[in-house]
Amino acid sequence: MGQAINEIQEELIEEFGLFEDWADKYEYLIDLGKKLAPMSDAFKTEENVIKGCQSRVWLHAEKQGELVVFQADSEAIIVKGMISMLIRVLSNHTPAEILAADLYFIDQIGMSQHLAQTRSNGLVSMVKQMQHYALAFS
Amino acid sequence: MAEKLNIDQIRADFPVLHQQVNKAPLIYFDNAATTQKPKVVIDALQHYYDQDNANIHRGLHTLAERATTAYELTRTKLASFLNSPSTDQIIFTSGTTAGINLVAQTFGRANVGKGDQIIVSNLEHHSNIVPWQMIAAEKGAEIKVIPVSDAGVLDIEAFKALLNSRVKLVAVNHVSNAIGTINPIEEIISLAHEVGAKVLIDGAQSVAHLAVDVQVLDMDFFVFSAHKLFGPTGVGVLYGKRDLLEAMPPYQGGGEMIKEVSFAGTTYNELPYKFEAGTPNIADVIAFGAALDYVQAIPAEALAAQEEALLAYATEKLQKIPGLRIVGTAPEKIAVISFVIDGVHPQDIGVLLDKFGIAIRTGHHCAQPLMQRYELVGTCRASFSFYNTFEEIDRFVLCLEKTLQMLG
């Protein structure tokens, strides 16, 4: 068993707690985006695309044993940074754990604006879609 | 030499400009999306609800009369603003989109038939495409498109080749919202009239920057929104030629638009009320009158000179940024700069500039066919108004450079 979802959230909150100004925080987020494990091109299909108004997000999910494993990508690097964190928190957990998850870390690290409606970046739909996959796999 | 604007004094008229956003002074470069409102407009709204609120046109009491007079005064001001031959050719709508839909559903439905054609341009906003697609699909008509050059200029020779007697309507914008091109509407209108087609001009992006004389331009239909002209949201204007408006069937049914109603049949009211069913947006129309007064009190030449200078200054500074390409380099442009940067998604630039307190627009600008033409997912768009300053452009460019370093 890996770490529990809330342990990972606490870890992220601690990491972001190191930065005093927004620019450092965003540089870290951008860095996370750049380091996101590349998504296989085979999964970047029309079926896996989540259309935001401004940028596209691709999400693929599969079940490995009891666990749901996510892969995702985006055209925009800040969105990729957010995706990287969402995958770190939610991937490799059971459907029940994913469905029960309360993603409080996003607010605590000051990134909730990226999940606001106006951002139109596909992230809100991505989180919903991750839960739908969990439901489908449960 | 044109009189120079006192920018500090003008900025003092706009309360919203004096605030911090993300701990930095706000720089508002999203004027093509909506302009800010001078204090006189906000005061007019407040005054109306404080003192005059009443439903208009039918009440006999004093408040109803005050409200009606103020509401109709805006119509009179608009007739003068556009040089309309009469006030009853000025129809209030809820915005540009509503005006286009009104013309599509009334003029379009009555005049476009199977096998007819409607011409739009590759520069259009979705709101000047989709209403025509809807009526074309319903009637079995075709949509034809005026192509646009790499620089963002409409191909008038191609337009001439598209014209024929099956063309019933040409719908183009005066100014492109995405890239700022000023289109040669006088020529477009005159060419369309030669084959008997009518023309709708979408003036959403032009009215805040260019003078419009509907008679000199021989406009059939002209539509725009108050909120892009320093007025409130929720108000738009449709100007139409009298014979066209009179021949058009009514749009929405309801109160105000009728003369007499019985179950045997209903007769419709005269212009402009035939197209103004229901209680209109009284407060915002009245406040829009204050916006018209405000903007017309600024010497037009000085206003244009300020915007031209801002455009030239920003263009020169932005061009020096490595990897930056300006999208839309038409010789005739308003103060809008759309740009892309090699290897950087526009959305990332928009998010980070907002952290610096700078408001620009990123994305496809509701002009996806234009983005497809240029093979772009979107652009960053900085759009200026006369209340913007050279210092703001300096800080914008500096912050854009910092943004690119962060993303680099």
> Is residue B148 within 8 Å of B370, Cβ to Cβ?
yes
Q: How high is the pLDDT of residue B58?
A: 81
DSSP B224: E
pLDDT digits (tens, 9 = 90+) for B135-152: 999 999 999 999 999 999
pLDDT digits (tens, 9 = 90+) for B300-338: 999 999 999 999 999 999 999 999 999 999 999 999 999
- Span B57-84, average pLDDT: 95
Enumerate the residues of chain A whose CB falls inside 8 A of the CB of residue B355.
22-23, 26
Min mean pLDDT across A108-117, B29-38, B202-211, B386-395 is at A108-117
Print burial letters for B4-13: b (CB count within 10 Å at least 16), e (below 16): ebeeeebbeb
Is the model's pLDDT at B1 over the cut of 50?
A: no
Establish if B35 belongs to a structural domain.
no
> Do B60 and B114 fall within a single domain?
yes
Q: Shortest CA distance to B175 belongs to which of B99, B228, B241, B137? A: B228
- Span B348-358, average pLDDT: 96
> Do B215 and B246 fall within a single domain?
yes
Q: State whether residue A103 sits within 8 Å of chain B by CB.
A: no
The last residue of a domain, from among B249, B269, B296: B296
Distance, in Å, from the CA atom of B124 to the CA atom of B100, rounded to the nearest integer, reads: 12
pLDDT digits (tens, 9 = 90+) for B194-233: 999 999 999 999 999 999 999 999 999 999 999 999 999 9
Q: State whether residue B357 sits within 8 Å of chain A by CB.
A: no
Q: How high is the pLDDT of residue A118?
A: 59
**Which tokens in the block code for residue A71?**
């892969």
Domain boundaries, chain A: 5-137
Q: What is the CATH number for B393?
A: 3.90.1150.10
> Do B165 and B218 fall within a single domain?
yes
> Is residue B385 within 8 Å of B17, Cβ to Cβ?
no
Q: How high is the pLDDT of residue B201?
A: 98
> Do B272 and B322 fall within a single domain?
no
Q: Which domain holds residue B256?
A: 42-296
Is the model's pLDDT at B3 over the cut of 80?
A: no
- Span B157-165, average pLDDT: 98
Q: What is the CATH number for B242?
A: 3.40.640.10
> Do B79 and B183 fall within a single domain?
yes
Q: Residue B115: which region, alpha, beta or left (left: phi > 0; alpha: psi -120 to 50)?
A: left
Establish if B221 belongs to a structural domain.
yes
> Do B268 and B339 fall within a single domain?
no
Of B340, B366, B399, B400, catalytic: B366
Establish if B127 belongs to a structural domain.
yes
If you write DSSP's letter for every residue of B251-264 in order, what string do you get? SS-SSSSEEEEETT
Q: How far apart are the first and last CA of chain B?
A: 45
Model confidence, pTM: 0.95
- Span B237-265, average pLDDT: 91
Nearest CA in chain A to B403: A23
Establish if B257 belongs to a structural domain.
yes
Of A21, A41, A53, A117, catalytic: A53
Quick check: bond before B272 cis, omega within 30?
yes
Give the rounded percent of residues in chain B with a pLDDT score beyond 70. 100
- Span B355-373, average pLDDT: 95
For chains A and B, count residue pairs whose Cβ atoms are closer than 8 Å: 42
> Do B264 and B388 fall within a single domain?
no
The answer, yes or no, to whether ipTM is higher than 0.90 is yes
Is the model's pLDDT at B354 over the cut of 70?
A: yes
Enumerate the residues of chain B whose CB falls inside 8 A of the CB of residue A78.
347-348, 351-352
Give pLDDT tens digits along chain A (138 positions).
Answer: 579 999 999 999 999 999 989 999 999 999 999 999 999 999 999 999 987 767 889 999 999 999 999 999 999 999 999 999 999 999 999 999 999 999 999 999 988 888 776 556 678 888 899 999 999 998
Establish if B403 belongs to a structural domain.
yes
Establish if B253 belongs to a structural domain.
yes
Distances (CA, A) of B2 to B301, B302, B334, B384: 6, 6, 18, 20
> Do B325 and B186 fall within a single domain?
no
> Which residue among A26, A75, A114 sits closest to B406, beta carbon to beta carbon?
A26
Counted domains in chain B:
2
Q: How many CB atoms lie within 10 A of CB A41?
A: 9
> Do B348 and B205 fall within a single domain?
no
The overall average pLDDT reported for chain B is 96
Domain boundaries A5-137, CATH class? alpha beta
Establish if B229 belongs to a structural domain.
yes
- Report the DSSP pairing between strands B27-28 and B358-359: parallel
Strands (E), B111-214: 117-121, 142-146, 167-173, 198-202
> Do B12 and B113 fall within a single domain?
no
B265 vs B2, residue with greater confidence: B265
> Is residue A123 within 8 Å of A57, Cβ to Cβ?
yes
